[in-house]
Amino acid sequence: MPQGGGKGHPHAAQKVKLGELTMKLHFFTGFMLAVLLSVSGFAGDLADVKKAGVLKHLGIPYANFVSGAGDGMDVEMMKMFADYLGVKYEFVKTDWSTLFEDVSGQKVKVSGDTVEILGNTTVKGDLGANGITILPYRQKLVDFGTPTFPNQIWLIARADSAVKPVVPTGDLSKDIAAVKELIKGRSLLGKAKTCIDPSLYKLETVTDKIKFFEGGLNDVAPAMIEGEAELALLDVPDALVALQKWPGKIKILGPVSDKQYMGPIFAKSSPALREEFNKFFQIISHDGRYLSLVKKYFPYVYDYHPEFFKEMK
Amino acid sequence: MEQENVKKSSLQSRDIALIAVSLLVLLFVAGLIWVNYSSSQQIRATMLKHLQLDAEKRADTVAFFFTGCGDDLKALANSRDVSVFFENQALGMSMRYGLRQSLIPIKDLFSKTSVSRLINGSPVYDRIILVTAEDEKILADSASKEDRIPESGFYGTFNKNELDLKKGAPYTGPRRLNGELIITEPYFFKGKYEALIIAWINKESIDKLIKEKGIHCNSFKLLDASSIKNLETPRGQVRLTAPVNGTPFVLEHLEDAKHIYGSVHPLYILSGFAAVGIFLFSLMLVMLHMNLQSKILKTQLDATSLREEEANAFNEKLKEEIKIRRSIEKSLRENEMNFHTFFESMADMSFVASNDSNIIFVNSAALKAMGYSKEELLNMRLVDLYPYDKHTEAMETFSSMLRKEKDQTSLPMRHKSGSLIPVETRVWPGKWNGERCIFATSKNLSHEQEAQQSFEHLFQNNPSLLVLFTKPGKNIVDVNNSFIKATGYTRDELIGKKFRELEIFREDKQDQLVNEMLEKDGHFTDLELPIFCKDGRRLVALFSMETIGSHGKEYFLAVILDITDRKTPECK
């Protein structure tokens, strides 16, 4: 937001000129965007999907949302959605670095909560779903559908670590503060541009031993077990899976973030598709199909976030 | 003779008894041998069955063992640790972190499994590995000495020559690999064949299992079922096999035959006894043969004596017969002589001809009547005695008489001069000097014919009225010319008729009177009776009737004198 005061005319004239310029710029930007979109193609909205007869699901093998072997909670849910729309289902594999671009068709630069559009790119799918946390900067890039899964960022450590989990106080902010105390002076493993990016939780202010993991998000927990860092950040679904896969090797120390949610992403140019998904999710979250998927892929999530599923049947 | 028969029959009975006893002894010995052989065979069969059962039991134990091993590998394949590895692989985890961490529990699990199954304290598995189907890399190896999974990841690659993993995928269970016993279990992730778990079975443990206790337990071997078809059983040994269910193996038990049969095979014992039996039987047959030969000789001698006696008796009979025959011949000769004399003495002509009609004998009457010499007649045939034109008729007539269809023939013979001789000839078959022949006698009727002609002349030309009647019936046979002239009838009107019928006698009493007189004496003379002519004239006739014979038949000859003129006044 431009800061400025009304101290003299030159300034006022300057403001008018600037306003005109801004308007012209907006106009130009809008025109260029329209031209570019016509060239690169927007993500298909509902009518385009139905016309094409296929729903392209962009996803990254992650946790139990997308297994990488043809199934996963989000895979099954999107197959149901394709059925609901009366079109075929197609999975399109992508990765975290290009997921949002592949959905929105916009090349962007993210810096904190600031998003800079660098240009356009090819749209590779109609929607994205693989346990994508709803974060403010992401909301600038894409539209999220109704949240489909609860989330939170947890701090984990090796089971044999001397660091002990915080005792829950019932006050989340106090618990987060206690957890941040644990991080102090210790090496912490996170991953940039993901929900476990330590900068999202201002953890760089807590420790200077932050390590940005360069491998896949799924490898964070085993990397910590391997000794890459004393501590690591994991989101709830990943942590629940890690607890199952490496039993007795990791422990949850406590929350680092407030409660978060995960949901499917849509290009901003696909409001009808998003709306249709929301309707669809309303249906399956009340006819038992969604809960059966949750029980199948994340059986322990009820223990941690029962309130999310309270209204569902 | 009777004594001899008794002796003979007692001898035969003794022989039959001897043969029967020999056969019974032979049967008894054969029975003993057979019982011995069948007992040996039964013992052998029982032993074989026992060994087979033992082999099958051991094979079942091995099958059970392999099932246990298979269960171990199935448990590994179904373990969460193996599944996690492939889940993480699908999620794109790196070998440096996620996958390496996933392999650690797998390695631990494999190592624990490899030492968990024991036989008599020895581990069953030499090695258990998890090898990927795609790139044939070993993911986990229980035999690895490294405590920590290296960062490079996989332990090493599997030798492709050892096992075609892609082909091996569907196969679960034990098999042989490069001479070693392995058991495999495929691993499927989300329905896709991803890896194979291979376990090497310790040889000693299998040996311990199959050779555990029991009879001749060291001779058991585990073989591939496909290989036993071409195996030859070594001499002096017995091979028993039992399939190991659910595996491609069979359990082989190679046993020394002497352990089953004893030092001598029952078949050899049977063969030995059989040879002795055959020898004894042959000996008995030879003795029987010799005995039989003696008997045949004796029988032949007896038969010769018997034949001699029979020949003597026959000779006697023959002598008797010769005597009888000579006597018969003598009597025959005498008969022939008599016959000859008889023929010679006959007034009728007698001829004897051979069957082909050649005259072989003629009597003197024939020589005299025919005008031929004896030599001429003996060179003639019977038919030659007849005129040439009558030869055929003579032959047919002879044939009829020989067939007894005709008694005689009046065919006249031909005198040497050519004149005909009235004869009455009879012909019949007979024997002359022992040969079949034809007898012929011909009565010369020349005199009878002459007498007949004279009688005929007298009859016809007699002035008295003469009538010839048949004796019974008194039908007119013939009348003379005087009678025809006197009565006015023609001959034809008279022949065959009676006087009463022709109204020659007009009263029945005339007939009766004649009959009575004839019946009384057979003849009468001078009986006066009226007769009537054809024209009705009455004649007074004096009847005389006499019985006469001609050609063997009797007739009444009536001589009638017409005395009408003498009686005319009376008539008038």
Q: Which two tokens stand for residue B483?
A: 């009678």
Q: Same structural domain for residues A110 and A140?
A: yes
Judge whether A33 lies within some domain. Answer: no
Residues A204, A244 within the same domain: yes
Domain boundary residue, one of A258, A274, A294:
A258
Inter-chain touch B91–A226, beta carbons under 8 Å: no
Report CB contact under 8 Å: A216, B84.
no
Tell whether A308 is within 8 A of chain B (Cβ): no
Residue B92 has its nearest CB partner, among A216, A221, A245, at A216
Q: With contact defined as beta carbons under 8 Å apart, do B122 and B202 qualify?
A: yes
Contact A233, A142 (CB under 8 A): no
Angstroms from A311 CA to nearest CA on chain B: 31
SS3 B357: coil
Closest CA to B381 of B405, B398, B400, B401: B398
Within an 8 Å CB–CB cutoff, is residue B117 touching chain A?
no
The more confident residue out of A189 and B139 is A189
Q: Which of residues 230-249 of A touch B (CB under 8 A)?
A: 245-246, 249
- Measure the CA–CA gap between B220 and B52, rounded to whole angstroms: 12
> A122 in a domain, yes or no?
yes
Distance CA A231, CA A155 (A): 7
Q: Is the sign of the CA dihedral B449, B451, B457, B463 positive or negative?
A: negative
The reply to whether domains B29-263 and B458-571 share a CATH topology is yes
* Closest CB to B94 among A62, A70, A219: A219
Instruction: Check A68 against B86: CB less than 8 A apart.
Output: no
Three-state DSSP at B540 gives strand
- Measured CA to CA in angstroms, residue A259 lies from A113, A149, A159, A236, B248 at distances of 18, 11, 24, 10, 61
Smallest Cβ distance to B97: which of A70, A226, A249?
A226
Query: Chain A contact for B25, CB < 8 A?
Result: no
Task: Indicate the pairing of strand A260-262 with strand A149-151.
Answer: antiparallel
Same-domain status, A249 and A158? yes
By three-state DSSP, how is residue A280 classified? helix
With beta carbons under 8 A apart, name residues in chain A contacting B98.
216, 218-219, 221-223
Q: Measured between alpha carbons, how far apart are the two ends of chain B, in Å?
A: 114
Q: Where on the phi/psi map is residue A269: left (φ > 0), alpha (ψ -120 to 50), or beta?
A: alpha
Contacts of B546 (CB under 8 A, 6+ apart): B523, B556, B557, B559
Give dist(CA B437, CA B415) in Å, integer. 24
> Cβ of A67 and B87 within 8 Å?
yes
The torsion of the CA quartet B28, B32, B37, B42, rounded to 10 degrees, works out to 110
Residue A223 in tokens: 């990397």
Confidence (pLDDT) at A103 = 95
User: What pLDDT digit, counting tens, does each position of A136-183 carry?
Assistant: 989 999 999 999 999 999 999 999 999 999 999 989 999 999 999 999
Other CB atoms within a 10 A radius of the CB of residue A161 amount to 15
Whether residue A197 contacts residue A97, with contact meaning beta carbons closer than 8 Å, is answered with no
What residue type is B459 in one-letter code?
F
Residue A98 and residue B357: Cα distance in Å, rounded?
Answer: 156
Between chains, do B93 and A245 touch, taking CB under 8 Å as contact? no
Give kind and range of the element (H or E) at residue A313.
none
pLDDT score at A298: 92
Q: Give me the tens of pLDDT residue by residue for chain B, a chain 572 residues long.
A: 555 565 556 556 777 787 788 788 878 878 887 888 788 788 878 888 888 888 888 888 888 888 999 999 999 999 999 999 999 999 989 888 888 888 888 998 999 999 988 888 888 999 999 988 887 888 888 888 777 777 766 667 777 666 666 665 556 788 888 888 899 898 999 888 888 899 999 888 888 888 776 656 667 888 888 887 777 888 878 888 899 988 888 888 888 877 777 777 667 777 877 787 788 778 877 887 887 788 888 888 988 899 899 889 988 998 998 898 888 777 767 777 777 777 888 888 999 999 888 999 899 889 888 999 989 999 999 889 999 998 999 999 999 998 888 888 989 999 999 888 989 899 988 888 778 889 899 988 888 788 888 888 888 888 889 999 998 888 999 999 999 999 999 999 999 999 888 889 888 888 888 888 888 888 898 888 899 999 988 888 998 998 888 777 888 889 999 888 877 654 43
**A227 within domain boundaries:** yes
Look at residue A38 in the predicted model and tell me its pLDDT: 39
Answer yes or no: do A136 and A276 share one domain.
Answer: yes
Residue A110 falls inside a structural domain: yes
Q: Which of A215, A218, A228 sits opposite B88 (nearest CB)?
A: A218
Place of tokens 């000789």: B297
CA distances to A80, B94, B95 from B153, in Å: 38, 9, 6
CA–CA gap between residue B496 and residue B84 (Å, rounded): 161
Regarding whether A301 and A177 lie in a shared domain, the answer is: no
* pLDDT of the residue at A33: 41
Residue A101, domain CATH: 3.40.190.10
Q: How open is the CA angle B88-B90-B96, to the nearest 5 degrees? A: 50
Tokens matching residue B4: 């001899």
Minimum Cα–Cα distance from A223: chain B residue: B97
- Which residues on chain A are in Cβ contact (under 8 Å) with B192? 69
Q: How far is B70 from chain A (nearest CA, A)?
A: 26
Cα angle B300-B305-B308, degrees, rounded to a multiple of 5: 120
* H-helix segments, A116-219: 136-141, 172-183
Cross-strand partners of B546: B557
Instruction: Kindly state whether B153 is in contact with chain A, defined as any CB-CB distance less than 8 angstroms.
Output: no
Task: Give pLDDT, residue B569.
Answer: 55
For residue B367, give the amino acid letter.
L
**For B249, phi and psi rounded to 5 degrees?**
-110, 160
- Which chain A residues are closer than 8 Å to B96 by Cβ? 215, 219, 223, 226
pLDDT at A48 over 50: yes
CB contact under 8 A, A69 and B86: yes
Sign of the CA dihedral running B513, B515, B518, B523:
positive
Residues shown for chain B: 572
Q: Tokens representing A111?
A: 């810096």
Cα–Cα distances (Å) from A285 to A189, A282, A290, B16, in that order, read: 35, 5, 5, 113
Q: Which residue has the higher pLDDT, B342 or A261?
A: A261
The H-assigned helical ranges of A86-132 are 99-104
Q: Domain spans of chain B?
A: 29-263, 346-444, 458-571
Count of CB atoms situated within 10 Å of the CB of A157: 23
Q: How far B188 CA lies from chain A's nearest CA (Å)?
A: 12
For residues A91 and A238, state if they share a domain. Answer: no
A97 and A178 belong to one structural domain: no
- CB neighbours (10 Å) of residue B40? 18
How many structural domains is chain A composed of?
2
Per DSSP bridges, beta strands A127-128 and A54-59 are: parallel
pLDDT of residue A18: 39
Q: Which domain holds residue A201?
A: 153-258
Interchain CB distance below 8 Å, B93 and A225:
no
**CATH of B346-444 among 3.30.450.20, 3.40.50.11140, 3.30.1650.10, 3.50.50.60:** 3.30.450.20
Residue A165 touches partner B, C-beta closer than 8 Å: no
Angle at CA A59, nearest 5°, toward A58 and A61?
A: 160
Inter-chain touch B91–A216, beta carbons under 8 Å: yes
Q: What distance in Å separates the CA atoms of residue A63 and residue A70, rounded to the nearest whole number?
A: 13
Can you give the pLDDT at residue B122? Answer: 84
Residues of B in contact with A62 (CB under 8 A): 91
* DSSP codes joined into one string, B1-50: -HHHHHHHHHHHHHHHHHHHHHHHHHHHHHHHHHHHHHHHHHHHHHHHHH
Q: Does B90 sit within 8 Å of A245, measured CB to CB?
A: no
Q: Which residues contact B171 (CB under 8 A, 6 or more apart)?
A: B184, B186
Cβ-Cβ contacts under 8 Å between A and B: the total is: 62
Nearest CA in chain B to A59: B91
- Tell whether A202 is covered by a domain: yes
pLDDT given at position A174: 95
The torsion angles phi and psi of A263, rounded to 5 degrees, stand at -165, 170
Q: Which of B84, B101, B103, B188 is most worth mutating to test chain A (most A CB atoms within 10 A of its CB)? A: B101
Average pLDDT of the residues in A200-213: 93
In CATH, what number does B458-571 get?
Answer: 3.30.450.20
Reduced to 3 states (helix: H, G, I; strand: E, B; else coil), residue B521 is helix
Q: Which residues contact B484 (CB under 8 A, 6 or more apart)?
A: B490, B491, B494
* Burial of residue A148, with CB atoms counted within 10 A of its CB: 0-12 exposed, 13-18 middle, 19 or more buried: buried
Alpha-carbon gap: A129 to the closest alpha carbon of chain B (Å): 15
**A39 pLDDT band (50/70/90 cuts)?**
very low
Q: Evaluate whether B105 touches B81 at the Cβ level (below 8 Å).
A: yes
Using a CB-CB cut-off of 8 Å, the residues of chain B touching A63 are: 91
Does residue A26 lie in a domain region? no
Percent of chain A surpassing pLDDT 90 = 71
Q: What is the pLDDT of residues A67-124, one digit of tens each?
A: 999 999 999 999 999 999 999 999 999 998 899 999 999 998 887 778 888 889 999 9
Alpha-carbon span B468 to B480, nearest angstrom:
9
Q: Which A residues, 63 through 82, put their C-beta within 8 Å of a C-beta on chain B?
A: 63, 67-71
Residues B265 and B41: beta-carbon distance below 8 Å: no
pLDDT at res. B5: 62
| A175–chain B Cβ distance below 8 A for any pair | no
Instruction: Pick A216's closest partner by Cβ from B93, B101, B192.
Output: B93
Residue A28 inside a domain? The answer is: no
Residues A215, B90: C-beta atoms closer than 8 Å: no
Least confident stretch, A37-46, A283-292, B50-59, B526-535: A37-46
Q: Are B480 and B466 in contact (CB under 8 A)?
A: yes
Inter-residue contact A124 to A56 (CB < 8 Å)? yes
Distance CA B225, CA B211 (A): 19
* Assigned CATH for B29-263: 3.30.450.20
Report the pLDDT value the prediction gives residue A5, as an integer from 0 to 100.
31
